Each structure stands twice: as C-alpha cells, then as structure tokens.
Amino acid sequence: MWAMTTLTQRPEPRVETRNPGMPFDPGQLAEIRVNRSAVERRAATIPTRRTVKREWQAAWLIRAVQCLDLTTLAGDDTPGTVRRLAAKARQPVRADVLRRFGLAPGSVRVAALCVYHAMVPAAVEALRDTGIPVAAVSTGFPAGQTPRRLKLEEIRESVAAGASEIDIVISRAHVLTGDWSALYEEVRAFREACGPARMKAILACGELGTLRNVAQASWVCMAAGADFIKTSTGKEAVNATLPFGLVMARAIRDYHQTSGARVGLKPAGGIRTAKQALDWLLLVKEELGETWLQPSLFRIGASSLLTDIERQLWHTLTGRYAASHHQPMP
C-alpha cells in the first residue's frame, strides 16, 4: 500500500504502452471458462475484506484522481462546458487541500478528458501545453449501430482533430451470436484507424449476456490490439460492476502471460463515490499488481466521482465533510 510519503512525491512519469495484438485463435476462446458463483463470491469480498484509513486512504484517493478519465458525454455539451471541465482536469483538487498534504498545486492532474467527437477541438485547445490527453468516444457511441465505414471515418477525424485516445464500442451482436472472427476483424480495423492514438475497447458488459461472453470478448479485443478494455459506455442499464471487473482483470492477466503485452483496464459508468473508487483500486492491486495502478494501465471513467473524492480528502484533513458546493466544477 501507499503511505503518506507517497503524497509528497511527484506523480510517476507516464509510461504509455501499446499492445501489438496477436493472431486470432478460436482454440484459445474455446478453452475460456467462467464460474459465475465463484466470481461473484470473490468480488463480494473486495469491499469487505480490506479498509484503508486516513493518510493511507488519502494516498489511494490521490492515485484514483490521477487515474481518472474526467468525462462529459451529455446531449447538451457545449464548448463552454468542455472548457470548464478542462479547467477542473488541470487542477482536480483544490490548491489549499493539496498544500495541506504537502503537494504543490498543479502536481496532481487527471489522466484524460473524455468527450464526444464534436467537442474534441474545444478540449484540445483548452488543454494545450498541459500534457493531458483528450479521449474521444467513437464508432457510433454508445450503441455502435452505424455502418463500419462511418465508424472508421469518425475515428480518423477524431485523431486528426487532436484526440490521442479513442474509446471505441464493439458490435455487441458479434458477441451475442458468437461471431468472434467478425469481432476480431472489426476491432483490428478500428485499431488501424486509430494510428498513434491509444485505443480503449468498450465491451458494454451489461449487454453481453454472460460472464463467459465478457471473458471471451475481452480476449478477442486484446488479441485485435486494444490498449485498454473498458467495462461500459455508462449508458447501459448495468455498467461497471466488480464481477465484470474481476473477469476482465483475469483475462488481462492471462493475456499478459500469453503475449507479454500489458493491457489496461477501465471501469466506467456508475462509479460515483470514493468508496467505489477504492474498491476498484483494491481489485486491480490484488488481481494485477501495483504495476497496473498507474494511468497508463488503469483508468476510471466518471464525471461526478471527483466531487466525492474531494469531500473525503477534506474529511481526512478536518474530520468534517465539506458541502459539495465547496468543491465545484469551475
């Protein structure tokens, strides 16, 4: 675990990794099995077996902020909305709070700002010279029910506009009908369209039917070159859950053992409290190890989570919870 000394250290330099993928092998998929009851029992222990308190909790929550994809994906987004969120991305925690933890203002930032394609230019301009990447959701987000040529064009246009990360959505029908070769070819084409941009493959686990489908879809997307696998769009009825995360984390571990490549994990959708963020950090630490607890390999996609993390950090300092309007979005 991280002690309070972690808070006084500058964030580790970002080491971006790329997953080259590997040839599609139907035999590997056939061997994948998932024991649902065992997964659910294991996932249920994560929030109950461990607790982190005071300075330890603060250190974990600072790491959660550093792994946050601060997100706005609303129908009423405007360039002004994105600029305000970009200001929060640059300084996600109040300067006076950081100083009391021994951190300089500006030393803590989020991992990325995630927006729709139309908002990419505004996000890129607002984050110019900060080093914070812009992630664009793409390929007919959230349902993915558009022609492939349009999906590929959307990816290319987002990259041309300055997005350095692309969150693609897979065609759920390929999973539900067991057409794994079609899924592989689709995701491989998306990866090629991304060019230098890192690609996160959104599985929409809540719409895949079974945990085995989640495990198999995770493997196919990684084999096709996904740099991250992501639980959800945030628009499904069921989004990021610990059982989904556990299955995906173990698929990532197996893929690393097979290929040598490290693939990141991104839970997204419904993660609103600091406690939930801690649960995900614990899951990743226990299943994948501390190597994965950095922005290059772990992200949390969220919009309202940051406010609760700030309230918890204030409680660590003062013993009191601040009102939400004391940590407003700019």
Q: Average pLDDT in the 231-256 region?
A: 97
pLDDT of 3 reads: 45
Q: Average pLDDT in the 189-208 region?
A: 98
- E-assigned strand segments in 117-270: 134-137, 165-169, 198-202, 228-230, 264-266
Average pLDDT over the chain reads: 92
Per residue in 270-301, pLDDT tens?
A: 999 999 999 999 999 999 999 999 999 999 99
Burial class (CB within 10 angstroms; exposed 0-12, middle 13-18, buried 19+) of 51: exposed
In a domain, residue 42? The reply is yes
pLDDT of 50 reads: 61
The CB-side HSE value for 108 (13 A sphere, CA atoms) comes to: 31
Helix or strand or coil: residue 168? strand
Q: Which residues of 11-35 are buried (b: 16+ CB within 10 A; e: fewer)?
A: beeeeeeebebbebeeebbeebebe
Per residue in 128-170, pLDDT tens?
A: 999 999 999 999 999 999 999 999 999 999 999 999 999 999 9
Listed in sequence order, the residues at least 6 apart from 146 whose beta carbon sits closer than 8 Å to its beta carbon are 139, 140
pTM for the whole thing?
0.94
In the set 69, 230, 279, 308, the catalytic residue is 230
In a domain, residue 8? The reply is no
In the set 69, 200, 266, 308, the catalytic residue is 266
In a domain, residue 209? The reply is yes
Which residue range(s) make up the domain with 267? Answer: 23-321
pLDDT bin (cut points 50, 70, 90) of residue 1 is very low
Distances (CA, A) of 95 to 105, 127, 130, 248: 5, 19, 17, 36
Say whether pLDDT at 96 is over 70. yes
In a domain, residue 148? The reply is yes
In a domain, residue 214? The reply is yes
Distances (CA, A) of 184 to 33, 150, 222, 310: 19, 18, 9, 40
In a domain, residue 233? The reply is yes
In the set 167, 227, 279, 308, the catalytic residue is 167
Is 266 one of the catalytic residues?
A: yes
pLDDT of 10 reads: 44
Is 25 one of the catalytic residues?
A: no
Within 91-141, residue ranges assigned H as helices are: 95-100, 120-126
Is 200 one of the catalytic residues?
A: no
Say whether pLDDT at 7 is over 50. no
CATH number at residue 271: 3.20.20.70
Say whether pLDDT at 6 is over 70. no
Instruction: Choose among 279, 282, 243, 250: nearest CA to 36.
Output: 243
Number of structural domains, the chain? 1
Per residue in 18-66, pLDDT tens?
A: 999 999 999 999 999 999 999 999 999 998 866 666 678 899 999 999 9
Say whether pLDDT at 13 is over 60. no
Instruction: Choose among 227, 306, 299: nearest CA to 266.
Output: 299
pLDDT of 48 reads: 86
